[in-house]
């Protein structure tokens, strides 16, 4: 009887002590388990944008799929009525026309386009700054030709004077 009890205890300890924890062993998976010793095929992946400064950041994604997008915003305006209507192009693409001037201070950067200011959002390839060619011409007088950097997640205003 004594031997049966000892064998039973040993069998119990052996069967519970050698049990290996199962789980996901892929460190790129969302449910990676640091304590798992046996891969049980339960790994899950959630691809998406994992860069917190991107426009389309996905907090549920655990695998970056290269889909991140960034945008830079500029607001163009003038405080002078001498130029007449001002047509504006960015990198050769027409973005709009100022048909009136901003009389005091400056418009709120990034605010909706109006007759007295144009807000332009540009999709950028990375989170760093990118230079763009800006040209503008007034219907009465004034021409502008310059380069400016657009920065992701930042709004800048540009007064045409």
Same domain, 151 and 88: yes
Same domain, 145 and 82: yes
Hey, what are 5's tokens?
A: 């009890």
Query: What pLDDT is stored for residue 125 in this prediction?
Result: 77
Q: How many domains does the chain have?
A: 2
DSSP 32: B
Query: What pLDDT is stored for residue 103 in this prediction?
Result: 83
Whole-prediction pTM value? 0.65
> Given strand 143-150, what is the order of strands in its sheet?
93-98, 86-90, 130-138, 143-150
Same domain, 60 and 99: no
Same domain, 76 and 58: no
pLDDT (tens, 9 = 90+) of the chain, 161 residues, equals 566 656 665 566 555 556 789 999 998 888 999 999 999 999 988 899 998 888 899 998 988 898 898 888 999 999 998 999 999 999 999 999 999 998 888 899 989 998 999 999 888 877 777 889 999 999 998 899 999 888 887 888 899 98
- CB-facing half-sphere around the CA of 47: CA atoms within 13 A: 3
Same domain, 80 and 154: yes
Q: How far apart are CA 116 and CA 51, in angstroms?
A: 35
Q: How far apart are CA 159 and CA 78, in angstroms?
A: 5
Q: How far apart are CA 88 and CA 120, in angstroms?
A: 10
Domain boundary at 64, 82, 112, which? 64
Residue 104: which domain range? 70-159
Query: What pLDDT is stored for residue 145 in this prediction?
Result: 94
Q: Residue 55 in contact with residue 71, Cβ under 8 Å?
A: yes
Same domain, 120 and 85: yes
Same domain, 18 and 39: yes
Same domain, 86 and 57: no
Same domain, 84 and 153: yes
Same domain, 85 and 107: yes
Query: What pLDDT is stored for residue 119 in this prediction?
Result: 92
**Pairing assessment for the beta strands 47-48 and 63-64 based on DSSP bridges:** parallel
Q: Is 24 helix (H, G, I), strand (E, B) or coil?
A: strand
Query: What pLDDT is stored for residue 63 in this prediction?
Result: 85
Query: What pLDDT is stored for residue 154 in this prediction?
Result: 80
């Amino acid at each position: 009887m004594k031997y049966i009890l000892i064998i039973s205890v040993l069998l119990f300890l052996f069967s519970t002590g050698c049990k290996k924890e199962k789980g996901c062993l892929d460190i790129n998976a969302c449910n990676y388990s640091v304590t798992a010793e046996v891969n049980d095929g339960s790994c899950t992946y959630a691809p998406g944008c994992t860069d917190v400064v991107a426009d389309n950041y996905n907090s549920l994604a655990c695998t970056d799929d290269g889909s991140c997008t960034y945008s830079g915003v500029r607001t163009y305006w003038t405080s002078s009525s001498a130029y007449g209507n001002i047509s504006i192009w960015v990198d050769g693409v027409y973005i709009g026309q100022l048909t009136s001037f901003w009389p005091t201070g400056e418009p709120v950067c990034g605010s909706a386009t109006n007759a007295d200011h144009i807000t332009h959002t540009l999709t950028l390839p990375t989170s760093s700054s990118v230079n763009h060619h800006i040209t503008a011409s007034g219907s009465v007088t004034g021409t502008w030709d310059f380069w400016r950097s657009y920065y992701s997640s930042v709004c800048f205003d540009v007064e045409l004077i």
